[in-house]
Structure 1
């Protein structure tokens, strides 16, 4: 499938996986919009990506109106929207008896409700253009672990939401996929990437998976993709 003249939107596109996907899609010739909560992070990402086919938008996926505005900006600039990648996410880890209400709500609102907001705001564009919706979940969406109750709940939810949406949207020729990475070199949970991360998946690796996914025959739909590092440390 040709990616020429395709328009993609990536939430949480200023760092980590989202930035890696943006970089890969721009290299593949797509027009790309990225969003994030902080204007300073967006300006830094714009400088690093250095593309005339890039739009940077301040948007908080927890707010549906923000995502509506983001989609409107994309359509106004590029004329349409073909591909949506719901990547924005956070992680707060603590045993359940110590997990705060604030951290629980922030994870559910960002990781799960945010994914819904992004699709809800863009679904008519995706239907009109026979597009592709991709959510970035995690192996934590199928593998639970101690201290991860809130994060597990949000990512299990993303997997269930995306798979059900796939069944709803396939009749409109809209493809829907969730990608579930394991350990990735990124700034997730305030981590600073360093030499010790060499064994991990790189954000650009997820970007390449997205490019390959978008190039598949229209009759082929990988609805759920699990991705692991080859080795563990």
Structure 2
């Protein structure tokens, strides 16, 4: 694989499973040092064993001290920070009156607050490197659906955060991208359809974003799977 990121350092949150796991491997295979951040120590160790450029770090994104340590570790271990991928996310689904306060808070804390904290601490370093922030949102961050009140709210909020960051960081030449995939064949979706996107397809799109020509910014990309004709309405 092309080693376009050999001199770069990336952080991937939610790296222990699903899309984050695949993203981490893709970036490491492409030459980057990757700080793989998640809460599961065992899964992170297994991930780190797959490539020498993966640095595992147990991190709780809802705690600011943990997030600051994540960013500091990237800079201390590799001397720089070039790419921040806010991938961690969770979803609880149900009518608004059925959601618990704890479920609502978890979605806001992980999906939105975690991304805010990561950006907050990473931005000074990304300005130095003229780096890149990639926020992994969802199609649910562009359209709503019944039962998605909390999840959609958190992902719409992430899109708003991305838009503001684009404006604030433009003069510093820090790129900001948002990727909005549909359903992916990961643990996040209990019973994904066979035609759902694969983690590899989504990871390749992130790769395209972070290795694009310096003069190109993918502000928002919406990915959907190709639905077989017989399943289309």
- Distance in 2 between residues matched to 1:145 and 1:78, nearest whole Å: 43
Q: Once the 2 structures are TM-superposed, how far is the Cα of residue 4 of structure 1 from its aligned partner?
A: 2.2
- Distance in 2 between residues matched to 1:107 and 1:219, nearest whole Å: 35
- Distance in 1 between residues matched to 2:22 and 2:193, nearest whole Å: 16
- Distance in 1 between residues matched to 2:46 and 2:94, nearest whole Å: 31
- CA 173–204 in structure 1, closer or farther in 2 if over 3 Å, else same: same
Q: Once the 2 structures are TM-superposed, how far is the Cα of residue 214 of structure 1 from its aligned partner?
A: 1.7
1:42 aligned to 41, 44, 55, which one? 44
Aligned length, in residue pairs: 227
Deviations 1:86-117 (A, max 9, x none): 00100001111111000000100110111101
Deviations 1:38-64 (A, max 9, x none): 2122123223xx111110001111111
Question: 1:57 matched to which residue of 2?
Answer: 57
Give me the CA root mean square deviation. 1.5
Q: Which of 9-18 and 35-44 deviates more?
A: 35-44
- Distance in 1 between residues matched to 2:94 and 2:206, nearest whole Å: 32
Question: 1:30 matched to which residue of 2?
Answer: 32
- Distance in 1 between residues matched to 2:95 and 2:177, nearest whole Å: 31
Check conservation: 2:177, 2:209, Cα contact below 8 A: no
Stretches of structure 1 that go unaligned for 5 or more consecutive residues are none
Per the normalisation by structure 2, the TM-score is 0.93
Q: Secondary structure in 1 aligned to 2:222?
A: strand
Say whether 1:119 aligns with 2:119: yes
Per the normalisation by structure 1, the TM-score is 0.93
Q: Once the 2 structures are TM-superposed, how far is the Cα of residue 137 of structure 1 from its aligned partner?
A: 0.4
Q: Secondary structure in 1 aligned to 2:121?
A: helix
- Distance in 2 between residues matched to 1:211 and 1:107, nearest whole Å: 26
Question: 1:167 matched to which residue of 2?
Answer: 167
Q: Once the 2 structures are TM-superposed, how far is the Cα of residue 21 of structure 1 from its aligned partner?
A: 0.9
Deviations 1:175-215 (A, max 9, x none): 000100001011116x37xxx64311111111111111122
Q: Secondary structure in 1 aligned to 2:180?
A: strand
- Distance in 2 between residues matched to 1:46 and 1:198, nearest whole Å: 29
Q: Secondary structure in 2 aligned to 1:230?
A: coil
Higher RCO by CA contacts (8 Å cutoff, separation 6 or greater): 1
Question: 2:213 matched to which residue of 1?
Answer: 217
Mapping of residues 1-233 of structure 1, within 5 Å:
2-47=4-49, 50-188=50-188, 191=190, 197-231=193-227
Stretches of structure 2 that go unaligned for 5 or more consecutive residues are none
Q: Secondary structure in 2 aligned to 1:114?
A: helix
Check conservation: 1:23, 1:207, Cα contact below 8 A: no
Check conservation: 1:23, 1:204, Cα contact below 8 A: no
Structure 1 moving runs of 4+ over 3 Å: none
Q: Once the 2 structures are TM-superposed, how far is the Cα of residue 33 of structure 1 from its aligned partner?
A: 1.0
